[in-house]
Structure 1
Amino acid sequence: MTTLNEDDVLEKLEAQNDLASFMTVAHDILLSGIRQFLPSLFVNNDEEILEYAVKPLLARSGPLDDIDVALRLIYALGKMDKWVYADLDCFSQFREFVFASKETVHFHDDITYDFIASLNAITRNTTLFDAIKKMKFSDFNIYSEVRYGSMVKTALTLAVTSLLKELVP
């Protein structure tokens, strides 16, 4: 398993031009971060335990390959702050919503604003969140869908990198 490099994460997320592809890449990156974090939960990381118990749990079709199950385990063991758990769960749910939606969801849509307004990783950064709010609710002459969408994408990228930093064993 390769270690996630912040520059690679930023590059992968920046390369996405629409919200659906962004959420897919973000989900994959966050799941990879969770997979890297999971082995630190188990007793002593004994070679035998890792080989015969942990590896099957973490395998691609194993029970901990599901982001929701893995998050619940990490949180239940007290190894993750509540805000991190909530943000990661919110990312997972919003990704599902984006793909289940009959209409295309964009970075500049109201539902995306509602999503970012519920992410602690964004709202804790008051300067960033205030700038997004100001642009979202600004006069139409100043408002630009492209600029606003770009700012939302940047905020989501920062949220992903912030959450990854919390997944360090």
Structure 2
Amino acid sequence: MTILNEDDVLERLEAQSDLPSFMRVAHDILLSGIRQFLPSLFVDNDEEIVEYAVKPLLARSGPLDDIDVALRLIYALGKMDKWLYADITCFTQFCDFVQHSKEAVHFHDDVTYDFIANLNSITQNATLFNAIKSMKYSDFSIYSEARYGSLVKTALSLAVTSLLKELVW
């Protein structure tokens, strides 16, 4: 399992040029963070339990390899705040939407703004969210679509890192 660090996460996200690839990488990063967090839910220091019970649950084809199942377990055990559960669930659902959309979805699209407006990890940062909101509703003769898309990408990158901080850092 790869140990996640903030610089690597930001580099991987920044390397993505479009929203579908960004969301795919963000989803993979969040799933890795959940995988890294999951062993802490179980009895540790007992090698036999880890080897014969925990590892099969966390294996690539195991029942906890599904991000939705793992999230529900963590939340049901009271090991995750409601806002964190909601944000990661939103990321998962938006990723699925973007990947299966017949039309290309971009950072600057209204649906992406709606997604951002529902993320606690972004809306709780009033300065960031207000900057996005004011740029979204400004005259684009002042702000370009590319600049706005870049701000949205940055906000989403910060959201992913703040979610990971709650899980593993």
Task: Pick the TM interval, shorter chain.
Answer: over 0.9
2:109 is matched with: 109
Query: Secondary structure of the residue that 2:44 maps to in structure 1?
Result: helix
CA contact 1:68–1:89 (8 Å) conserved in 2: yes
Q: Within 5 A, what are the aligned runs for 1:112-123?
A: 112-123=112-123
Q: Kindly provide the amino acid, as one letter, of the partner of residue 89 in structure 1.
A: T
Q: Kindly provide the amino acid, as one letter, of the partner of residue 102 in structure 2.
A: K
Q: Distance in 2 between matches of 1:2 and 1:16?
A: 20
Q: Distance in 2 between matches of 1:140 and 1:55?
A: 52
Q: Within 5 A, what are the aligned runs for 1:120-139?
A: 120-139=120-139
Q: Kindly provide the amino acid, as one letter, of the partner of residue 56 in structure 2.
A: P
CA RMSD across the alignment: 1.0
**CA deviation vs aligned residue, 1:71-129 (integer Å, no higher than 9, x gap):** 00000000000000000000000000001110000000000000000000000000000
**1:142: how far off?**
1.3
Query: Secondary structure of the residue that 2:128 maps to in structure 1?
Result: helix
Structure 2 CA distance for partners of 1:45 and 1:82, relative to 1, 3 Å: farther
Q: How many residues align?
A: 169
Q: Distance in 2 between matches of 1:159 and 1:114?
A: 15
Q: Distance in 2 between matches of 1:45 and 1:138?
A: 56
Moved more, 134-143 or 71-80: 134-143
2:44 is matched with: 44
2:141 is matched with: 141
Identity level (%) = 83
CA contact 1:75–1:82 (8 Å) conserved in 2: yes
Q: Distance in 1 between matches of 2:45 and 2:79?
A: 16
TM-score (norm 1): 0.98
Structure 1 unaligned regions, length at least 5: none
Q: Distance in 2 between matches of 1:117 and 1:45?
A: 42
2:73 is matched with: 73
1:150 is matched with: 150
Structure 2 unaligned regions, length at least 5: none
Q: Distance in 1 between matches of 2:128 and 2:65?
A: 33
**1:45: how far off?**
4.2
Q: Distance in 2 between matches of 1:167 and 1:134?
A: 31
Query: Secondary structure of the residue that 1:107 maps to in structure 2?
Result: coil
